[in-house]
Chain A
Amino acid sequence: MVRLVSQQRIDAYAGASGDHNPIHVDPSFARATPFGGTIAHGMLVLALIGEMMRGAFGEAWSTSGKLKVRFKAPTRPGDTITASAVLSKESADDAEYAVQCVSQSGEILIEGRASVKAVS
């Protein structure tokens, strides 16, 4: 899955989630920080992994899915992110995937694992 993260999307996410931290929504504030500009909410970028897993597993994701990730690098307005999942372990009970989001330059933004119970 691929998605553009624009400042408009970040602003909309701040409104929807209630997280109005100025590092995300105030360009003049963010310019003075070590990031040099606004960055997307980690949870906004993570939503792409959630959407991907829900799209693949449907209701099973909402009833048994597990996700554990680290936010490795900031996502900036204008970045195009790609989410992926690669099967890493499978048993009769569940399947585990290595998941990540990378930027257009290949930088890893989010990395971790997701698991979901097998549908009987």
Chain B
Amino acid sequence: MTSTARTSISALSRGHEFPSVAFTVSEKVVRAYLDAVGDAHGYAETVPPLAAVALGLSAVQEQIALPEGSLHTGQEVEHHAPVRAGEALTLTGRIAQRSERQGFVVSVIELEIATVAGVAIRARSTIMAPGGAS
């Protein structure tokens, strides 16, 4: 996954689009994820959707700076199709909403994870970061 110059999430406007990222989730990464969360259901070759979202969010976070005190306050996920380990994926992301509240900037990062067949997962992550004007 690539990274670019880091701008604070608080400074990003609504509509800002992150550079798309091509990636795969290997079976090894899936197993590390399952071990970490303690999931014994054994997805085998299927990537747990929340693992794909977490990796996608981390990829976006590599492109921005999160000020100290930032909080992940909400999460939405829509599943459309299973993602297979090792499958070629494309991550696209943008700032879907931005507002300011009591010294915090509330940003909603919208992510799409697609396979060659189409969108597999859509997600919206709400991040509160210090830095609002008020």
Contacts and interface: CB of A to CB of B under 8 A. Distances in A.
Interface of A: 3, 9, 12-13, 15-19, 21, 33-34, 41-44, 46-48, 50-51, 54-55, 59, 61-71
A47 B73 CA distance: 15
**B contacts with A: majority SS:** mixed
Nearest to A17: B54
Nearest to A3: B38
B36 A16 contact: yes
Contacts of A42: 72, 75
B48 A59 contact: no
Contact of B41 (A9, A19, A33, A55): A55
Interface stretch (B55-63, B89-97, B100-108): B55-63
Contact of B46 (A62, A67, A70): A62
Contacts of A19: 54, 57-58, 61
Interface in B50-95: 50-51, 53-55, 57-59, 61-62, 66, 68-69, 71-82
B82 A46 contact: no
Given A12-B32, A66-B77, A71-B74, A17 B58 contact: yes
B39 A51 contact: yes
Given A18-B55, A54-B41, A59-B82, A71 B75 contact: yes
A15 B46 CA distance: 19
A44 B55 contact: no
A62 B53 contact: no
B29 interface: yes
A69 B68 CA distance: 23
A87 B71 CA distance: 29
B45 to A, nearest CB: 12
Contacts of A13: 33, 36-37
